[in-house]
Amino acid sequence: TASVTDGAEDDPELRRLADALENGKRFTLRAPGTDRGKTYIQSVKVNGKAWNKTWFPHDVVAEGGTVEL
């Protein structure tokens, strides 16, 4: 699969990573609040909904989806 990043070369914290899947869908990992001084994840959303587990389902990746940290 091909990876596409928004400004990864200009953004050492890599705030967004999008991966185009073979099935034509897209998996996106967003981390808008990243900073070198922040080492812990404060909250997670999976497809826009609060997520309280330490994992997310495989179908979020396989069927396309968004994880926001």
Model confidence pLDDT, tens digit, residues 24-62: 999 998 888 777 777 788 889 999 999 999 887 888 888
pLDDT of residue 49: 94
pLDDT of residue 12: 53
Q: How many other C-beta atoms lie within 10 A of the C-beta of residue 45?
A: 14
